[in-house]
Chain A
Amino acid sequence: MAQDEIKPEAARQSREAAAERAAIAVRPEFRSGAEAGFKDKVFEMRGIEVLYSGVSAVKGISMDVGHNEVTALIGPSGCGKSTLLRCLNRMNDLIPTAEVEGELLYHGEDLYGPNVDPVQVRKMIGMVFQKPNPFPKSVYDNIAFGPRVLGRKEGLDEVVEKALRGAALWGEVKDRLKDNAFGLSGGQQQRLCIARCIAVEPDVILMDEPCSALDPISTGKIEDLMIELKERFSIVIVTHNMQQAARVSDRTAFLMVELDAEEHNRWGRLVEHDVTERIFTNPTDKRTEDYVSGKVG
């Protein structure tokens, strides 16, 4: 009886392993092709797995993120896009039950190495959240907060102006710098959060569905901004909006939900990662094609 139970399990595992090997063998361009196009890499992920209380949320993610590029993470809800994004600046550390396995290199340096301070990581790798989260302070103090915690006391006026200009918000708020940031519109608040992020001069900006709470006009402004910002920063954006990914990103990674045989557990798995144009016009994987053409998800 027990043997009967073990057998299909073992068979399934070996089947899966074979399928995995086959998948990699069938799609050599998945690694080599995409990699060949990188001028400079910010992140290199090798077999990243994130677990919450021992349960996988994403598994086996291996991909690279290019410098001064916009990389979009797309996929259906629950496929672990945000989880993966939060690994990149160690925001997952804030969740006590979260664990990150695998190797994550940032400019060749192990981001989860023993001597790495998450606070320093977040100074280099900023984040913009799904819902605009301005601090309950003036516009000025919102921007100046980052430089202040870094110990900067002088020249804050210039920093604030530069950051607001960089986020295409200066013209709209220059006369109300002392007003509470809660008085701004949703789109302005989100650009304020972007300005707040670039005020600390990070290297990478992570954006977790930054436009999902905004109207189309505000969304357009932020998309324009992203294209402008990639001259100075590397950007990784999670989005549900495939048109947005197509418009702003250089490369796109498509993640999907995978179930185990008993359908008890689900986790996110990287299906395809390539130049954005290829993902949307000529994807290698059938599942990617179905997703971007709107057949599933």
Chain B
Amino acid sequence: MEAGGASAPRTRLAVAGARATTEAMLRNQPRRDVIRNAVFAGLLLLAVVIALAGLLALILQALAKGSSAISPDLVNNPPSTAFPDKAGYRPAIIGSLELIAGVLLFIVPVGVGAALYLEEYADKSRWWNTVIEVNIQNLAAVPSIIYGILGLAFIVRGPLDLGFILVAGSLTLALLVLPMVIIASREALRAVPDSIRQGSLALGATQWQTIRRQVLPAAIPGVATGVILAVSRAIGETAPLLLVGATVFVTFDPTPFGTDGYSAMPVQIFNYALRPQEEFQALAAAGIILMLVVLLAMNSFAIWLRNRYEQRW
């Protein structure tokens, strides 16, 4: 009784002390930390806003200036200096499509072939394969104007001597985006687990059968994504095309081997934008909208494709 009476308040005291400590521990963090957190989060958000603001400004400005020029004429009519209200992008659109077709014909077999060699066949302990690897990474970072000069020297003139034709433009653009395709394809091939290769080889399949029937099919979504992104880059390139003969003013439908000249979307936009008249400015803005729509659609498709068909192992 006596002992109980003495210990009860002491116990209460101990419990209260423990509770106070817990409460102190759980209470809000110091004010300084709260502020620091908020500032940091704000800075990060600012980075995102700056990144998006550029795109947003471009779209808004193009819409404001170009919406008046958007009409079926834009895709149906050739450019004209006399009638800017009727002028359009028809030869440039056709030129761009033909360029892209040529780029695809070149980069799919060569890009995938190079990736297959590097991933599946190359002995990585050999120094020259390491050199090739490093150089492909470097090539992807070379400015496009350099490829334009290369195209001019080796494709338009020089060894290939194709002249200023659309195919020469295609080849130049293809060389420009080839490293992107190789890098993306290699990543797609590397994502196919070795257990699949071993399983196939253990059944008596040859290395080529294994690649052709197991590895490549499993890598196709990744390869396709890389190809689409490469093509969307090629569509937007202007500088190399100017060097290898894309003409800024073409009023007829270009052909792949025609020597009369060809044009492409970005080149035509460039031409319109250089003119002082208000109507041509609007045309240029409308062309920008057209290209942005096409590029965003292609990139979205690439992302969708990757998410939809990517094999999860």
Bound state CA distance, A135 and B217, in angstroms? 11
Report, as a range, how many residues of chain B touch the other chain.
Answer: 20 to 34
Q: Closest CB of chain B to A72's CB: distance in Å? A: 20
CB pair B203–A197 under 8 Å, yes or no, is: yes
Contact with B along A172-197 (1 / 0, CB 8 A): 00000000000000000000010011
Chain B residues with CB below 8 A from A197, complex form: 202-203
Q: B198 touching A200 by the CB < 8 A rule?
A: no
Chain B positions 200 through 213: 1 when the CB is less than 8 Å from some CB of chain A, otherwise 0: 11111110010001
Tell whether, in the assembled complex, residue A89 and residue B202 are in contact, meaning their CB atoms are under 8 Å apart: yes
Q: How far is the CA of A181 from the CA of B29 in the complex (A)?
A: 52
B199 is contacted by which of A119, A124, A150, A193 (Cβ under 8 Å)?
A193
Question: Contact between B198 and A146 (Cβ–Cβ < 8 Å)?
Answer: no
* A126 to B193 CA separation, bound complex (whole angstroms): 19
Beta-carbon contact of A122 and B203 below 8 Å: yes
Q: Which of A124-148 contact B (CB under 8 A)?
A: 124, 126-127, 129, 131, 133-136, 145-146, 148
Q: Considering the complex, give the chain B residue whose CB is closest to the CB of A134.
A: B199
Contacts A96-B125, A145-B213, A149-B213 given; does A196 touch B201 at CB 8 Å? no
Would B218 and A196 count as touching, CB distance under 8 A? Answer: no
The listed residue (B193, B201, B213, B217) touching A122 by CB distance below 8 A is B201
CB-defined contacts of A193 to chain B, threshold 8 Å: 199
**A11 interfacial by beta-carbon distance below 8 Å:** no
- Contact assessment for A135 and B200 in the assembled complex, using a CB-CB cutoff below 8 Å: yes
Contact B196 A149 (CB under 8 A): no
CA distance A123 to B206 in the complex (A): 10
Q: Which residues of A contact B206 (CB under 8 A)?
A: 119, 149
Residues of chain A lying within 8 A (CB to CB) of residue B204: 119-120, 122-124, 126, 146, 149-150, 200
B residues near A134, Cβ cutoff 8 Å: 199
Contact B195 A136 (CB under 8 A): no
Q: Considering the chains assembled together, what is the distance between the CA atoms of A171 and B199 in angstroms?
A: 24
**A34 CB within 8 Å of chain B:** no
CB-defined contacts of B200 to chain A, threshold 8 Å? 135, 145, 149
Q: CA of A97 to CA of B123 in the docked complex: distance in angstroms?
A: 11
Is B300's CB within 8 Å of the partner chain A?
no
Check A94–B198 contact: CB distance below 8 A.
yes
Q: Which residues of A contact B203 (CB under 8 A)?
A: 122-123, 126, 145-146, 149, 196-197, 200
List residues 190-242 of chain B with CB under 8 A from any CB of chain A.
193, 195-196, 198-206, 209, 213-214, 217-218
Q: Is B7 an interface residue (CB 8 A)?
A: no
B:115-168 near A, CB below 8 Å: 123, 125
CB neighbours (8 Å) of A196 from chain B are 199, 203
Q: Find B218's partner among A89, A136, A145 (CB 8 Å cutoff).
A: A136
**16 extra interface residue pairs, beta carbon distance < 8 Å, beyond A97-B125, A127-B198, A149-B206:** A119-B201, A119-B204, A119-B206, A120-B204, A123-B203, A124-B204, A131-B195, A135-B200, A136-B218, A145-B213, A145-B214, A146-B203, A146-B204, A149-B205, A196-B203, A200-B203
Can you list 14 A-B pairs, Cβ within 8 angstroms, ordered by A?
A94-B198, A94-B201, A119-B204, A120-B204, A123-B203, A133-B193, A134-B199, A135-B199, A136-B217, A145-B203, A145-B205, A145-B214, A197-B202, A200-B203
